[in-house]
Amino acid sequence: MNQKRFSIALAGNPNSGKTTIFNNMTGTRQKVGNWPGVTVEKKEGNIKKFGYDLKIIDLPGTYSLTPFTIEEIIARDFVLEERPDVVIDIIDASNLERSLYLATQFREIDCKVLFALNMADVARSRGLKIDDKKLSELLDLPVVFTVGNKNQGIDTLLEKAIELAESSYEIPKKRRVKYSKDIENSISSLKSFLENWTEGSIPYNPRWTAIKLLEDDKIVKKRVLNEAGKNSREILQQAQIHRDFLMDRFDDDPEIVMTDERYGFIAGIIKEVLTTSAKQRIDISRNIDLVLTNRFVGFPIFLFFIWAMFQLTFSLGAYPMEWIDIGVNFVSKSLVHVLPNNLFKDFLLNGVIAGVGSVVIFLPNILILFFCISIFEDTGYMSRAAFLMDKIMHLIGLHGKSFIPMLMGFGCNVPAIMASRTLESEKDRTLTILITPFMSCSAKLPVYIVLAGAFFGARAGSVIFGIYMVGIILSIVTGRLFRSTLLRGADAPFVMELPPYRAPMIKSLLIHMWDRSKIFLKKMGGIILIGSVVVWILSAFPQNISYSLDYNSKISETKASYNAEIETAHESGKKLLAKQRDDAVSELIKAKKTEKAEKSFMGSIGKVLAPVFAPIGIDWRGSIALLTGFVAKEIVVSTMGVLYAADGTEDSAALKNALLSSGMTPLGALAMMVFVLLYMPCLATVAAIRRETGSFKWMIFSVVYSTSLAWIVAFCIYQGGTILAV
């Protein structure tokens, strides 16, 4: 017997616990992509439960189905066009009145809908008691209590959803909002007009279509024009007649009047089903906010959390990083003895393993960074960070809401730039997009760890924190400059919802961390591998070059000279002479490889770039690494692994030692880190800037401005530091 298949859509307000429930239902069996035609993230999960194949779709969080934002359009279109078997509306039980507005709109669509009263424990702690049976009776639909972060009620929710999907009853009329007499008469009249003039050509429910036409819904009007053919003009004219009548009767827009009446309907429901305990409850979230959003101590606490995140990323990540490093080095040394000396061996060791291996060791650091960011998001602290940054953001003519995309930029600039579409003003969006790349993404972290670890030792975590702060400060300075010149405009008002603090679920944190880290791992087998191979080819060819010294003869002479001395020396001096011989031979081998690299194709390119980067303390190898970083910032480290680790060993200790002996100074390392922080974004980010601004002009401007600023700041650090050190 074939299993039955049902599609279940999860909808709800932001911060209602929708994603937590989705993660509990699907676990790691979820697929992340984009909605057709847009770049808003789409999550789907396929599970088998109670003998059914269930497809769970996580709709974007939205407060209503009125088509103002891309999230609202996606949620409504999916329910209307894709027709899922059941819609589960996740309702925040502690904010019932606010959540029921979206719920009433789902009821008007006439789909099979089920209410999940989530965060029931939070509601109880606030002295709120909801009569779920009464609510279910009044709305004539199933209601289930859930506690998403404790995985309570999830199985019951799925059972009810399956039961509802299998049912075949008609959607009862009493579920609909009953408007005032004049509005109901207009709805009824327009509904009859639609049924007579469209002959079923419009796929939506006639009553709902009439309501949307009275509300002047642009998307529904466009659909009527497309589907109703020659009768479309008459339908829209009839809708406008009713709109004019209602506007005259109520002295207000019909959509505003209907919204008020929906809230009146909700108020009636609330009085019937909600009781509040007379006992005063302590609101833990408000008490915590007295400290964390305090005007004096809130911002220092926020800075401490960010500092602690990077300190933890560097110090705790050092242990698993060392284990992976040992594994990579073991593989490399094993292949040295197994493979014959030929071009393929050189390609495998110095191209693939040196390139990819020098980046894969930073996976633990990336995982820790994303884990910390997930904690900020899941606890509710991310919204507080935006609130704290509101006054600072006003310095550049933005508000705290713009800081959320910037905070997301610590993970990856591409989704951060896409998140700017939630801002209402076009100038705000453009300004946020232009300054977001100054937020140091996780791809730059390996570069900082290598350079800071090599040149700053125990202070590496604090140095990395300082680099991130430089990015934030320069984004503010840049924003102020652009707001007063290129993107003039008034400050937008800021209202930021502060959701209650919640204890994060380990399962949810791990899923979020893994989702983001998969991107890093995919790059390992794709763009980083390709980049490493290209760098190796350019540095390995041409094969036949003219050396300034006959290194092979010199090595043989050195060995013979030292061996002769060792034979005649006392036992106590033999070990010292043997060590001196090995060191001298190692230096000659290293000099030979360095000269070969300088005379390769890569070396020729590097020599052209060298005069540009010399004033900021970066040699030709570093300049090549920075050039390859335009494709993806992780390739900077893999290129350094190929070019600097010239002694034939590819572990991170060898790379750090090679950097220390390359002539680079701590000032040069600091200048290089700042340059990596600020210069042109990676290829994917550049494409995102072009797509979100809709302009090649802003894309090119972003690349030119950021690279110029990077060079100027790095120059000031290196040359200024050199002058002060004299």
| 492 band by pLDDT with thresholds 50, 70 and 90 | low
Residues 200 and 311 in one domain: no
| 3 band by pLDDT with thresholds 50, 70 and 90 | low
Residues 255 and 382 in one domain: no
- Residue 145 lies in domain: 4-175
Question: Using one digit for the tens of pLDDT, what is the confidence trace for 528-575?
Answer: 777 778 877 887 788 788 888 888 888 889 888 888 888 888 877 888
The torsion defined by the Cα of 692, 697, 698 and 701, in degrees rounded to 10, comes to 150
| 615 band by pLDDT with thresholds 50, 70 and 90 | very high
Cα angle 663, 712, 683; round to 5 = 90
Cα angle 602, 612, 460; round to 5 = 85
Question: Using one digit for the tens of pLDDT, what is the confidence trace for 73-109?
Answer: 888 888 888 888 899 999 888 888 888 888 888 887 7
Residues 306 and 386 in one domain: yes
Question: Using one digit for the tens of pLDDT, what is the confidence trace for 397-437?
Answer: 776 667 777 777 777 777 778 777 667 677 888 888 898 88
Residue 166 has pLDDT above 90, yes or no: no
Q: What are phi and psi of 300, to 5 degrees?
A: -60, -35
Cβ burial of 51 (10 Å; 0-12, 13-18, 19+) is exposed
Residue 28 has pLDDT above 90, yes or no: no
Residues 159 and 207 in one domain: no
CA 303 to chain CA mean position, Å: 21
Residues 157 and 33 in one domain: yes
Residues 310 and 446 in one domain: yes
The tokens of 462 are what? 């604090």
Q: Of all residues in the chain, what percent carry a pLDDT higher than 90?
A: 8
**Is residue 607 included in any domain, yes or no?**
no
- Enter the pTM of the model: 0.61
Is residue 52 classed as helix, strand or coil in its secondary structure?
strand
**Is residue 343 included in any domain, yes or no?**
yes
The tokens of 702 are what? 């972003």
Question: Using one digit for the tens of pLDDT, what is the confidence trace for 198-216?
Answer: 665 666 778 888 888 888 8
Let me know: does 438 contact 706? Beta carbons within 8 Å.
Answer: yes
Residues 116 and 248 in one domain: no
Question: Using one digit for the tens of pLDDT, what is the confidence trace for 338-366?
Answer: 888 888 887 888 777 776 776 777 788 77
- pLDDT average, residue stretch 139-154: 85
Across 188-197, 324-333, 704-713, which has the greatest mean pLDDT? 704-713
Average per-residue pLDDT in the chain? Answer: 80
Residue 139 CA: distances (Å) to CA of 36, 174, 231, 621: 33, 7, 36, 69
Residues 157 and 196 in one domain: no
Let me know: does 448 contact 673? Beta carbons within 8 Å.
Answer: yes
| 1 band by pLDDT with thresholds 50, 70 and 90 | very low
Give the domain CATH number at 118: 3.40.50.300
**Is residue 503 included in any domain, yes or no?**
no
Residue 119 has pLDDT above 50, yes or no: yes
Give the domain CATH number at 247: 1.10.287.1770
Identify which of 71, 68, 46 has the alpha carbon closest to the alpha carbon of residue 59. Answer: 71
Tell me how many domains the chain contains: 4
**Is residue 90 included in any domain, yes or no?**
yes
Weakest mean pLDDT among 38-47, 424-433, 597-606, 607-616: 38-47
Residues 412 and 560 in one domain: no
